[in-house]
Amino acid sequence: MVWLIGLLTLAGLALLFGVILGFAAVRFKVEGDPLVDQLNEVLPQTQCGQCGYPGCRPYAEAIANGEEINKCPPGGEATIQKIADMTGRDPKPLDAAHGVEEVKTVAYIREDECIGCTKCIQACPVDAIIGATRQMHTVIADECTGCDLCVDPCPVDCIDMLPIEPNTSRWQWDLERIPVQTIDVSQAQPITLKNKQESS
């Protein structure tokens, strides 16, 4: 008799949990893979396609499905490290077959050579080029991700990828790069000073 009670109790519990889990599976169903969104967030969003996928999100989806994590040259080692942390995989060095980590660039259109063909506008993944047919085009430098995709379609090769100019507000404190000079004041004539006080 005791074994029957035990059996019934266990069966009852199993049924109860089954119902709860079944309900939860329907009620709290997650649309899409949250990992893809997280991966997409750490990718640099250049949409350059160097990984072999048409944009960052497709590559994020591919990583979630087991693709290698070292195919993103614009992201570089930092991005690989972040993806490795997220997916729990071992970080790998950047796959050189997809390119190497380079200095960040922006596209620049030599405007007097532009013939207004709109081909670069169609190629730009982030709509950072403005212009119209037979009108000069130009790049919105702040929006350009430096993906390189506009360079190839240009029939007159008037697009350059220029490295981003460093400025004081984004300087990285690399003091080693400042050339040390010897100040030569030996030739300077000492000037006799007027030691008078400024009246104000």
Partner 1 sequence: MSQPHSPVKLWRFHGGVHPPERKTIANTTAIRTLPLPKALYIPLRQHIGVSGDVCVQPGQQVLRGQALTEPGVYGGLPVHAPTSGIIGEVVEHPSNHPSQLPEPVLTLIPDGQHTSASLQPVADPFSLSGLELIQHLHDMGVAGLGGAGFPTAQKLSQARAINLIIINGVECEPYIVSDDRLMREHAKDIVRGVQLLQYILTEENQAPKAVIAIEDNKPEAIAAMEQAIAISHAPIQLQVIPTLYPSGGEKQLIEILTGKQVPARGYPADIGILMQNVGTAFAVAEAIDQGEPFTRRVVTLTGESFQQPGTAWVLLGTPIQHLLECAELQPDTPQRIIVGGPMMGYTIADPRTPIIKTSNCILAPTNKELPAAQNESPCIRCGACEQVCPAKLLPQQLLWMAKAQDHEGLNQHHLSDCIECGACAYVCPSEIPLVHYYRKAKAEIREEKIEQQKSEVARQRFEARQERLEREKQERLERHKKAAEARAKALAEREKLAEQQATATGAPACDDETDPIKAAVARAKAKRAQQQAEASSDSEDPQKAKVAAAVARAKAKRAQQQAEASSDSEDPQKAKVAAAVARAKAKRAQQQAETAAKASDASKEKDES
Cβ within 8 Å of residue 124, ≥6 positions away: 149, 150
What gap in Å lies between CA 159 and CA 108, rounded to an integer? 6
User: Minimal distance in Å, beta carbon 29 to partner 1?
Assistant: 24
What gap in Å lies between CA 116 and CA 109, rounded to an integer? 11
Query: Applying CB under 8 A, which of residues 127, 130, 132, 137 lies at the interface with partner 1?
Result: 127
At residue 190, what is the residue type?
Answer: P
What gap in Å lies between CA 131 and CA 194, rounded to an integer? 61
Residue 31 found at the interface with partner 1 (CB under 8 A): no
Query: Applying CB under 8 A, which of residues 22, 156, 162, 163 lies at the interface with partner 1?
Result: 156
E strand residue ranges, 50-90? none
Nearer to partner 1, 143 or 160 (CB): 143
Residue 67 Cα to chain centre, angstroms: 18
Nearer to partner 1, 31 or 198 (CB): 198
User: Minimal distance in Å, beta carbon 41 to partner 1?
Assistant: 8
What gap in Å lies between CA 6 and CA 149, rounded to an integer? 69
Residue span binding partner 1 (CB under 8 A) among the ranges 1-9, 15-23, 45-53, 89-97: 45-53
Residues that bind partner 1 (CB under 8 A): 40, 43-47, 55-56, 112-113, 115, 125-128, 143, 145, 155-158, 166-168, 170-173, 175, 178-183, 185-186, 188-191, 193-198, 200
